[in-house]
Amino acid sequence: MVSKSAFYLLLPMLAFAVGMLLPFQAGVNAQLRTLLGNPLQAALVSFLAGTTLLLVIALLTRMPLPTVKTVSGIPWWAWVGGGFCGAIYITMVILLTPRLGATTTFGLIIAGQLIMSVVLDHFGAVGFPAHPVNLWRVAGAVLLIIGVILIRRF
């Protein structure tokens, strides 16, 4: 059994490790675009591979399927938010990374994520607990944006 303190140390390490996968994924998907000749086809192949992996994991773990009642009760925005945002994200990374480079692309993506996260946290939107905006959060976001400007410029 993992202690509570070890668990809370593990979570940031997992988040960091997952973050390290994204530039790798971007490079692979950009190469896939070159091989297929189309960014939408590359995104589709990427999503098909991910869907296949999730299906295999679901089958191996014998994860129960949701009921029709459960699926029919999911609001439209939940379907659109997850799937559409993922498709747009993957396609844009495929298009932007070869042009801007991994550092600039992901610096801007992280800056956008951080700013939206501050807004969502402030309002407690889409199920997040409310964390009001404060000077430290704004300063962190501004410093990240300054970092992206420095990376892009020099």
| Cβ pair 124, 76 in contact under 8 A | no
In order of 68, 76, 78, the CA distances from 71 in angstroms are: 5, 11, 11
When comparing pLDDT for 132 and 79, which is higher? 132
When comparing pLDDT for 16 and 82, which is higher? 16
Burial zone of 45 (CB within 10 Å; 0-12 exposed, 13-18 middle, 19+ buried): middle
pTM for this structure? 0.80
Instruction: Looking at the chain, list the stretches that DSSP marks H as alpha helix, in order from N- to C-terminal side.
Output: 4-36, 39-60, 68-72, 76-79, 85-100, 102-123, 135-153
Residue 154, pLDDT > 80, answer: no
Residue 2, pLDDT > 90, answer: no
Residue 27, pLDDT > 90, answer: yes
Overall average pLDDT of the 8-20 stretch: 88
